[in-house]
């Protein structure tokens, strides 16, 4: 398709991910300075991922070679600039078939916005990724409670405090 912006017509030829399975609001995440991440990218119809979690990946899926499977384990590591914004990200995940994914990304731009109803903030970055060596585009939503973000910026904590999760009940 195409879009028109300020009178200029631009072709649109890309893949994008927008998950709408927001689940039940977990207010305990926000009461204790918590936060985490919501990260996704797509290279094409055969290669993509959606990751939920902080340092540990708690759920999501990956599509490799056109086959989509749930993620069963993984890690997510962010490098940050001196203001706390993500500059690069590295994730390793394993799916239900035992396939492995490595996604490495670099921030291209970032914006911050409040999260209504939970006293939170979300730093959303446009990210250029490599998924198992395949170029892709996506985003990273680095979310914090207002208290946690304030504590981080005052040097009291080094990263969001993740809530304790019971037996994988949150897995996608």
* pLDDT score of 54: 85
* pLDDT score of 26: 54
* pLDDT score of 34: 56
Between 11 and 135, name the one with better pLDDT.
135
Residue ranges of E strands in 81-152 = 86-95, 100-115, 120-131, 134-145
**Share of residues in the chain with pLDDT > 70 (%):** 79
* pLDDT score of 20: 53
Long-range contacts from 136-139, C-beta under 8 angstroms, 24+ separation: 136/41, 136/42, 136/43, 136/47, 136/48, 136/103, 137/14, 137/41, 137/42, 137/43, 138/17, 138/39, 138/40, 138/41, 138/42, 138/105, 139/39, 139/40, 139/41
5-25 pLDDT, tens digit per residue, is 899 998 887 776 665 554 455
Angle at 70 between CA 165 and CA 50, to 5 degrees: 80
Query: Lowest-pLDDT range, 74-83, 120-129, 136-145, 156-165?
Result: 156-165
Q: Give the pTM.
A: 0.78
How far is 26 from 30, CA to CA, in rounded Å? Answer: 8
Alpha helices in the chain (DSSP H): 28-31, 146-153
Query: Lowest-pLDDT range, 51-65, 93-107, 153-167?
Result: 153-167
Q: Is the pLDDT of residue 132 over 80?
A: yes
* pLDDT score of 115: 82
Sort residue 121 into left (φ over 0), alpha (ψ -120 to 50) or beta: beta
Paired strand residues for 57: 53
Q: Is the pLDDT of residue 108 over 90?
A: yes
Q: Tokens standing for 62?
A: 């990956």
29-87 pLDDT, tens digit per residue, is 555 455 688 899 999 999 999 998 888 898 899 999 999 999 999 999 999 988 888 99
């Amino acid at each position: 398709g195409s879009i028109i912006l300020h009178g200029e017509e631009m072709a649109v030829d890309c893949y994008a991910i927008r998950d709408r399975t927001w689940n039940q609001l977990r207010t305990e995440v926000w009461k204790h300075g918590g936060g985490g991440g919501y990260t996704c990218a797509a290279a094409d119809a055969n290669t993509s991922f959606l990751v939920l979690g902080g340092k540990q990946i708690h759920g999501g899926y990956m599509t490799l070679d056109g086959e989509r499977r749930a993620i069963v384990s993984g890690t997510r590591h962010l490098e940050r600039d001196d203001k706390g914004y993500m500059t690069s990200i590295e994730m390793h995940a394993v799916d239900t078939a035992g396939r492995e994914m490595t996604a490495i990304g670099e921030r291209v731009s970032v914006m911050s916005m409040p999260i209504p109803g939970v006293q939170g903030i979300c730093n959303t970055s446009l990210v250029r990724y490599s998924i198992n060596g395949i170029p892709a585009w996506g985003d990273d939503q680095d979310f914090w409670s207002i208290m946690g973000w304030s504590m981080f910026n005052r040097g009291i904590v080094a990263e969001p405090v993740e809530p304790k999760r019971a037996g994988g009940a949150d897995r996608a």
